[in-house]
Amino acid sequence: MKRLCSVDLSLKEKMDLKELYKSIDEDVALVKFNLIRRRFRRGGLTRKNLEKTHILIINRPTTRLLREEFIELIDFIDVGGTLILNIPPPKYLQDLGRWFEAFTDELGISLTNKVYYGIPKISKQTKLVGNNLSSHKAFEISCNDDPIFLKENGIKKYVPLAFIDDNPIIVFAEKRRGRFIVFCSNDTLKPENKNFISILLRLSSQRKDFLLEEPNKIKIGSSNFSISLQHTSLRNYFVTLYHHDFAFFREVMPINSIDDFTINVYKEIEKQQILSTPPTMEELVKTLKNIEFEKG
């Protein structure tokens, strides 16, 4: 079932809609689009508009946030909505007024004035692992980790989704019944990041946890080899192969065909030059047959 993904235009966002639509595969993301515009003197971020929205995208707003809009945005998240917020660079934040500052304070996020360049790395602790992100310039996102603040605002721990040089540039958090994703980059919502964005929206539309489940090591036959499978999205799994307790292979692999997947895993095992006897293909087949794979 597709969820409604609203793209806000009421805050005069810097938005190329054609480019945004090319950046998202609606069938993978499980969303359908809606536009929110300002109506005369009334703001667009009204309760009526937000009540029917599951996911809200605000991309680099340029005009002031009103007090009423601040209240509605907080309520939107707290009752179960997902906000994807691309904040403007620090030098433009004062143009958004004190209620936007109050809004980011409520979320516990801020920019550090530190801009980083390079190819981002996706966190291997999240279900977005295996996707590429080609953003080359982004600001570091700072989070308020004070336990009292988190408890008062109903925020669970912040989860960095992507890094440049170990600095978080995309951050996710759950707030009461909803969630938000924050970043500051002009390069993220682009067609070249279609897979990353579509999977991010899919996880949000299905209200799935962004963190990978704890790995469950499964012994392969009578050998000293083990395998763990952590579902990411669609038919993709983060696969870890171990010899004793040493992880010699950690990559995302699709499971479109169990036979092909088994062959690919066995090839990785065969590459290991060790003294102990590796498992046979038959042992690997038997091990994988006992695993129930997810499909979505």
Total structural domains within the chain: 2
- Which residues, in sequence order, are CB contacts of 76 under 8 Å at separation 6+? 50, 53, 56, 83, 178
Would 75 be classed as within a structural domain? yes
Instruction: Give the end-to-end CA distance of the chain in Å, rounded to a whole number.
Output: 12
The whole-number average pLDDT for the span 273-293 is 87
pLDDT value of residue 44:
86
Does pLDDT of 296 surpass 90? no
Stated pTM of the model: 0.91
Query: How much of the chain, in percent, has pLDDT values that exceed 70?
Result: 98
Domain closes at, from 147, 170, 205 = 205
Q: Are residues 101 and 141 in the same domain?
A: yes
Q: Name the packing angle between helices 281-289 and 258-270 (round to 10°).
A: 130
> What are the pLDDT digits (tens) for 216-258?
899 999 999 999 999 999 999 999 999 999 999 999 999 988 9
Mean pLDDT computed over every residue of the chain? 92
Domain closes at, from 205, 226, 252 = 205
pLDDT value of residue 128:
96
pLDDT value of residue 273:
80
Q: Are residues 106 and 249 in the same domain?
A: no
Residue 83 sits at φ, ψ, to 5 deg, of: -105, 130
> Residue 41: pLDDT band by 50, 70, 90 thresholds?
low
pLDDT value of residue 180:
98
pLDDT value of residue 98:
95
pLDDT value of residue 40:
63
Domain with 88 in it: what CATH number? Answer: 3.40.50.880
The whole-number average pLDDT for the span 50-59 is 95
Would 210 be classed as within a structural domain? no
pLDDT value of residue 4:
96
pLDDT value of residue 149:
97
Is residue 7 classed as helix, strand or coil in its secondary structure? strand
Would 151 be classed as within a structural domain? yes
Q: Are residues 116 and 189 in the same domain?
A: yes
DSSP string, 28-53: HHTEEEEEE--BTTB-S--HHHHHT-
Distance CA 148, CA 211 (A): 23
Q: Which residue has better confidence, 103 or 215?
A: 103
Full residue range of the structural domain in which residue 123 is found: 3-205
Residues in the chain, total: 296
